[in-house]
Amino acid sequence: MSEFHLQEEALGKAYDSKQMRRLLKYLRPYKSLVVISASALFFGSGTQIALIALVQIALDDYVMVGDLGGLTMIAGIYLAITIARFGAEYLQFYTTAKMGQETLHDIRMEVFAKLQRMDSKYFDKNPVGRLVTRVTNDVNTLNELFSSGVINVIGDIIMLVAFVSMMLYYDWLLSLAVFAVLPFLVVTTLIFRNKVRTVFRDLRVTIAQINAFVNEHLSGIAVVKLFAREKAIKEKFDTLNRRAMDQNLKQVFYYAVFFPVVELIGAVSLAALIVVGGMQITAGLLTFGELTAFILLVERFFRPIRDLSEKYNIMQASMASSERIFQLLDAKLDRAGLTPTVTIPRSAASSASPSTTPALSLKGEVEFKNVSFAYNEPEYVLKNISFKANPGENIAIVGATGAGKTSLISLLFRFYDFQSGQILIDNRDIREYDIFSLRSRIALAPQDVQIFSGNLAYNIRLGDNSISDEQVLAAAKDVGLDQALGDDFDLGMEIQERGATLSTGQKQLLSFARALAFDPDILTLDEATSSVDTATERLIQNALERIMKGRTSFVVAHRLSTIEKADRILVFHQGELRETGTHEELLAIGGVYQKLYRLQYQPRNIERSARSAVV
């Protein structure tokens, strides 16, 4: 069973006081709503009691006596209380819903903000689908707790107590007759609860599986079509879907049995009531009005009991959800997420005219000193790496797949913290920099270009409004995106989710434009391995040259042209830095680089390697 499976399945206690206290803290900003809602609830409950008492009074003191004038007055009071009750119920309903929605909004914001701060390691370990569930499903479950659970449970309990006291007040013998059926009710409820809990849990797992399945197979729809797997996958989906249906029906079945059984028990107690009540009236121990009021009470008495058993499910689900949410909120961040210490000073020029791209004072000297790094110790993917890049130097990083090139780049951004060694930028340990300003001075054009839905300008400036339209346009033109997009080129052009409407080359150029628009001091590029046509190739080549000029740059290179033009090449092999030098120097050594060159980069092999890259 997968971890995912287990996590979604966990349904623990229905009540955990520590967790509940923490949840209730979210209500703190909405104290006035809580007060209004609770008062309305009290008031509303009071009216229910009052109405029943009124019926008793009307029957005994007016109908039986034949005082019709007084009866009109009672009817008037009855109407007034009913109207007041309507008002109270409206107020209670509205304020509880508002309270629920407000808290929901706050929790969702907090969860999302926390997710944004999570380090790369966290995302390596947690599938996105599950995190989406945290933000949507789990938070929604809490909504039920806030908007229908907490306060109503209290309301139900108050009502129960009130009804029982009133019943005892009218006639204790009759009350006992009603309470005699309670054990049956309790047993039925317990059985029902157990059955429903199991089905409910199974259903949750199935639904989580359906979500994951749809997500995976729609994201990978191209592969599904390519291999003509539609039919088989549809059948697999059908199995899951059918399971969900069966579980739903099973749940419905239990409800369908439970509710009538509760009704039946109620009816039996009513019958007992009429017999015992009739005898009491004959004996002169009870009035007709009191018996009527009693019957009304008993009817209402069973309702909160039924509701409470239903709320149990809500409570249980929300305890499980809140546990998962709190787990996420409490997750410790890697050191990288926690240490904003020294802030890189912004230059005087930028503070004087805020519309210009803020210029910071990184010269761009980068030095790795004996850096070793493992995603999971002890599997080191970078071993004792040392090199130094001078300001403005263009460095190419080459190596076979899995050699550690992307890992090296991500250390520079502190996406991960390394185990030993030191990385210095401008002679200062990168861990001393404020992480946000550090990242704002180093740009990355990653291997897989992430495109967000929105227009072209948004995708270049990523919502940073300090970058003007002119700067965005200049960056786009500088990398030749206008040529690559042809007539479509327009800053307002809409780009689809995951960049489905862009070609690989266009995406690559867009990511260059993005890097350029921020005017970084240090530039890193992780070239995509897939090849593009010669025209785009030339565009990319020109763009690369332009954006690397005057900046320290690291390019994980797959194109011979990029490698040849670099000031220096670092050759990685299985996590080690094996060779350093220019293209000619390295070829002369006749080592790893020469082998790589022969296999991958030599012009006559390009076509072959391109084809294998696509597959």
Is residue 406 at the binding interface for Mg ion, with CB under 5 A as the rule? yes
User: Of the two residues 21 and 125, which places its CB atom closer to ligand CTP in the complex?
Assistant: 125
What is the rounded CA–CA span in Å between residue 160 and residue 539?
77
CB 404, min distance to Mg ion, A:
9
| Binding span for ligand CTP by CB under 6 A among 405-413, 479-487, 515-523, 591-599 | 405-413
- Short-list 330, 6, 12, 320, CA closest to 141: 320
Is residue 340 at the binding interface for ligand CTP, with CB under 6 A as the rule? no
| Binding span for ligand CTP by CB under 6 A among 26-34, 397-405, 462-470, 547-555 | 397-405
**Cα distances (angstroms) measured from residue 128 to each of 109, 134, 232, 308, 371:** 17, 10, 25, 36, 30
For the beta carbon of residue 401, count every other beta carbon within 10 angstroms. 9
User: Of the two residues 294 and 415, which places its CB atom closer to ligand CTP in the complex?
Assistant: 415
Is residue 402 at the binding interface for ligand CTP, with CB under 6 A as the rule? yes
Sole binder of ligand CTP in the list 133, 152, 407, 459 (CB under 6 A): 407
User: Of the two residues 456 and 556, which places its CB atom closer to Mg ion in the complex?
Assistant: 556
What is the rounded CA–CA span in Å between residue 404 and residue 410?
10
For the beta carbon of residue 327, count every other beta carbon within 10 angstroms. 11
**Cα distances (angstroms) measured from residue 441 to each of 16, 197, 210, 359:** 47, 54, 43, 9
| Binding span for Mg ion by CB under 5 A among 108-116, 347-355, 398-406, 602-610 | 398-406
CB 524, min distance to ligand CTP, A:
12
User: Of the two residues 47 and 407, which places its CB atom closer to ligand CTP in the complex?
Assistant: 407
Size of the site for ligand CTP (CB under 6 A): 12
DSSP 8-state symbol, 136: I
- Short-list 505, 585, 503, 515, CA closest to 553: 515
H helix intervals, 283-341: 288-330
Q: How far is CA 331 from the centre of its chain?
A: 14
| Binding span for Mg ion by CB under 5 A among 129-137, 368-376, 377-385, 404-412 | 404-412
User: Of the two residues 397 and 457, which places its CB atom closer to Mg ion in the complex?
Assistant: 397
What is the rounded CA–CA span in Å between residue 43 and residue 38?
8
CB 23, min distance to ligand CTP, A:
34
Residues 177-216, one symbol each (x = binds Mg ion by CB under 5 A, - = not), give ----------------------------------------
User: Of the two residues 322 and 406, which places its CB atom closer to Mg ion in the complex?
Assistant: 406
Quick check: helix, strand or coil at residue 371? strand
List residues bridging with 455 in a β-sheet: 494
Sole binder of ligand CTP in the list 155, 289, 337, 399 (CB under 6 A): 399
Structure tokens, 331: 């997750």
Residue with tokens 């009290």: 42
| Binding span for ligand CTP by CB under 6 A among 159-167, 401-409, 431-439, 535-543 | 401-409
Sole binder of ligand CTP in the list 155, 266, 337, 404 (CB under 6 A): 404
Is residue 381 at the binding interface for ligand CTP, with CB under 6 A as the rule? yes
**Cα distances (angstroms) measured from residue 470 to each of 203, 440, 455, 491, 539:** 54, 20, 15, 10, 21
What is the rounded CA–CA span in Å between residue 321 and residue 560?
52
For 8-11, the CB contacts below 8 A with 24+ separation are: 8/133, 8/204, 8/205, 8/208, 9/201, 9/204, 9/205, 10/320, 10/323, 11/197, 11/200, 11/201, 11/204, 11/316, 11/317, 11/320
CB 401, min distance to ligand CTP, A:
3
Question: Binding partner of residue 45 among ligand CTP, Mg ion, none, CB under 5 to 8 Å per kind?
Answer: none
Q: Is 430 exposed, middle or buried (0-12, 13-18, 19+ CB in 10 A)?
A: buried
What is the rounded CA–CA span in Å between residue 270 and residue 178?
8
CB 448, min distance to ligand CTP, A:
10
What is the rounded CA–CA span in Å between residue 561 and residue 601?
9
- Short-list 106, 60, 68, 273, CA closest to 175: 273
| Binding span for Mg ion by CB under 5 A among 244-252, 266-274, 369-377, 401-409 | 401-409
CB 359, min distance to Mg ion, A:
30
User: Of the two residues 337 and 399, which places its CB atom closer to ligand CTP in the complex?
Assistant: 399
User: Of the two residues 406 and 508, which places its CB atom closer to Mg ion in the complex?
Assistant: 406
Question: Binding partner of residue 484 among ligand CTP, Mg ion, none, CB under 5 to 8 Å per kind?
Answer: none
Sole binder of ligand CTP in the list 189, 269, 406, 536 (CB under 6 A): 406
User: Of the two residues 359 and 400, which places its CB atom closer to ligand CTP in the complex?
Assistant: 400
User: Of the two residues 277 and 404, which places its CB atom closer to Mg ion in the complex?
Assistant: 404
| Binding span for Mg ion by CB under 5 A among 173-181, 313-321, 406-414, 454-462 | 406-414
Q: Is 240 exposed, middle or buried (0-12, 13-18, 19+ CB in 10 A)?
A: middle
User: Of the two residues 297 and 525, which places its CB atom closer to ligand CTP in the complex?
Assistant: 525
**Cα distances (angstroms) measured from residue 459 to each of 112, 476, 483, 507, 595:** 21, 11, 18, 10, 39
Residues 113-142 that bind ligand CTP (CB under 6 A): 124
CB 95, min distance to Mg ion, A:
54
List residues bridging with 346 in a β-sheet: 360
Quick check: 576 and 591 in contact, CB under 8 A? no
Residues 436-475, one symbol each (x = binds ligand CTP by CB under 6 A, - = not), give -----------x----------------------------
CB 614, min distance to ligand CTP, A:
14
User: Of the two residues 72 and 530, which places its CB atom closer to ligand CTP in the complex?
Assistant: 530
Residues 6+ apart with CB under 8 A from 306: 259, 262
CB 365, min distance to ligand CTP, A:
23
Sole binder of ligand CTP in the list 405, 514, 559, 573 (CB under 6 A): 405
Residues making contact with Mg ion (CB under 5 A): 406
Residues making contact with ligand CTP (CB under 6 A): 124, 375, 381, 399, 401-407, 447
